[in-house]
Amino acid sequence: MTLWMMYHQVQQLQRDGLSILAIAELLGMNRRTVAKYLAMSEAEYEEFLLQKDSRTKLLGTFESFVKERLQAHPAASAAQVHDWLKEHHKRFPVISPKTVYNFVMAIRQKYAITLEEASREYFVVEELPYGLQAQADFGQYILRNADEKRKKVHFFVMMLSRSRMKFVRFSAIPFTSRTAIDAHEEAFEFFMGKPTEVVYDQDRLFLVDENLGDLLLTQDFKNYVVEQALGLHFCRKADPQSKGKVENVVKFVKNNFLYGRAFYDIHILQGQVLGWLDRTGNGMPHTTTRKIPSQEWLIERKYLIPWASIHILPSYIMRYVRLDNTIAYQGNFYSVPQGTYKKDITVMIWIKDDELHVHDAQRKFLCKHPVAQSKGNKVINTDHKRDKTKKLKDLVADIAALFTNPSLAAQYFELIRHVKGRYLRDQVQAIREAIKGRNEALVNTVLEKCVQERYLSAATFLELITMHAEQDKSLAAPAIGKVILMDPDNTTKAETTPDKRDLGDYEKIFSK
């Protein structure tokens, strides 16, 4: 009824000769709302109210979710609430952002949830040709994990200037030259091409508190730029018109994606941001262009330069391998595969995200470990204790040759491979230890028994070999019992021999 009274009051004031602006000021309404009411007939206004009521009922089921989110994060924008609804409710209907905005504002008013000051995304630059430019920048943000502990995350953003197509890459540690190169490669792969030039914010690139001071000073990054034939442009200080796009994308990531989000691990966060890009970052109309970035990208993609990955080797740190097959790094010891150690042998290590990667002198990958967060630790991979100096095929052949019947041994090892393929190396090495110093005939007997009965286990092989060895000892040296006489002067009982019965008698009894 109140809405109908408002509608008729607007109509009456216009008949009285008031302008749209005067009506809006008099009634405290938005002038666009006044104009919309004046353009509607009563029937059209009634239909408008019915649709509005229907939409309100449709969103009403999400009222408690929105209320709890706004109470926990009062600075959240209506756009972020819209994204949360789509993220946490997979069947959330397709609804206009304006409808969600009105619903969110109604919830704020109903529960007195004041909207705190928050940044919004905006861009004030002239439109550039498709495929010409991308802008890149770095940011950091403090999240809370499940234990409410603070966790700083770092992120790289790149955006195509014309289509506003965005890419975000997170890291648990500050970006370095190597990880910055990786982030550029992932962005170009995501965009399916690269622009003619990339714009960087000169002020932020050299901020020490972001650990980005080495980004363009390292030879690695310079080599990468040359190899990819990228044009570089550095913004002047106090020049928001040329760098405002990417700076606002950083704010957009912080305010729309990261605000109020819990941290689990960096890989989960990366998966979440890709989903957010699909739903919101690239999936919703841009506030300035009013176009959806992912749809505009379909046009811009045709103007991008074809991209091919370039693998530039990172700056390795050389370390000697210790006698116990470990290497030292920043006060901790990390294992390398058994057999790596040789006199004066060195390996190359480098840090990628929060992992330590180890390569040999020929740049062959050996292993990786999570970087220890404190000093004095031994980070050991139990798999490194296995002897991998020989290829598995050669190792199996060498151990089979130790048997008097190598072909049967090879057949036995093949049977083991079918049931314990992942542990074949461990199995044959254990069998090699079991037959050391054993009688060849005994070993062959056990081998035949295992093949015949399908005892496909090194443990069973060892048990059988031990059991047969014990039996052989028993047969070779039978125990002789000693009779102790209670009465040494009377030997009659000791000399008594018990009667023996023929085994045939027992057979006759059991056959009946």
**What structural domains does the chain harbor?**
2-111 (no CATH), 133-303 (3.30.420.10), 317-385 (no CATH), 392-476 (no CATH)
508 pLDDT more than 50: yes
195/161 Cα distance (integer angstroms): 9
Q: How many CA atoms lie within 13 A of 195 on its CB side?
A: 27
The larger pLDDT score, comparing residue 385 to residue 11, is at: 11
The mean per-residue pLDDT over the stretch 350-370 comes to 83
Helix (H, G, I), strand (E, B) or coil at 199: strand
User: Which amino acid would we find at residue 331?
Assistant: G
Q: Across the chain, what does the average pLDDT equal?
A: 80
pLDDT at 477 over 60: no
Token couple for 487: 């009465």
199: CB partners within 8 A, 6+ apart = 133, 134, 135, 136, 161, 233, 234, 235, 242, 243, 246
Question: Which tens digits make up the pLDDT trace of 433-476?
Answer: 889 888 888 899 889 989 988 888 888 898 888 888 787 666 65
- Range with the largest mean pLDDT of 59-73, 289-303, 422-436: 289-303
In the prediction, which pLDDT does 213 show? 42
Q: Per mean pLDDT, which range of 111-115, 323-327, 384-388 is the poorest?
A: 384-388
* 199: phi then psi, degrees, rounded to nearest 5: -100, 135
363 contacts: CB under 8 Å, gap ≥ 6: 313, 348
Q: What is the DSSP string of 274-328?
A: HHHIIIIITTS--TTT-S-HHHHHHHHGGGSBP-----PPP--EEEEPPTTSEEE
Residues 80 and 255 sit within 8 Å (Cβ to Cβ): yes
What residues pair up with 357 in beta bridges, in sequence order?
350, 368
Q: Which residue has the tokens 């490669």?
A: 185
Phi, psi of 379 (to 5 degrees): -100, 105
Q: Please spell the DSSP secondary structure of 61-99, one letter per residue.
A: TTHHHHHHHHHH-TT--HHHHHHHHHHH-TT-----HHH
Q: What is the pLDDT of residues 172-182, one digit of tens each?
A: 888 877 788 88
What does the alpha-carbon distance between residue 280 and residue 192 come to, in Å, rounded to a whole number? 20
The token pair that represents 271 in the structure block: 């998966």
Cα 277 to Cα 269: distance, rounded to the nearest angstrom:
12
CA distance 165 to 270: 17
- pLDDT single digits (tens) 287-324: 888 899 999 999 999 999 998 876 554 556 778 888 88
| 209 — pLDDT class (breaks 50, 70, 90) | very low
- In tens, the pLDDT along 15-43 reads 888 889 888 888 777 888 888 888 888 88
How many residues are given for the chain? Answer: 512
Residues 135/161, Cβ–Cβ less than 8 Å = yes
What 3-state DSSP class applies to 155? strand
Q: Using pLDDT thresholds of 50, 70 and 90, give the confidence band for residue 192.
A: very high
Instruction: For residues 324-333, give the mean pLDDT.
Output: 89
**127 three-class SS:** coil
At a CB cut-off of 8 Å and minimum separation 6, what does 446 contact? 461, 464, 465, 468
* Pick from 351, 2, 67: nearest CA to 211: 351
Backbone angles phi, psi at 216, to 5 degrees: -105, 10
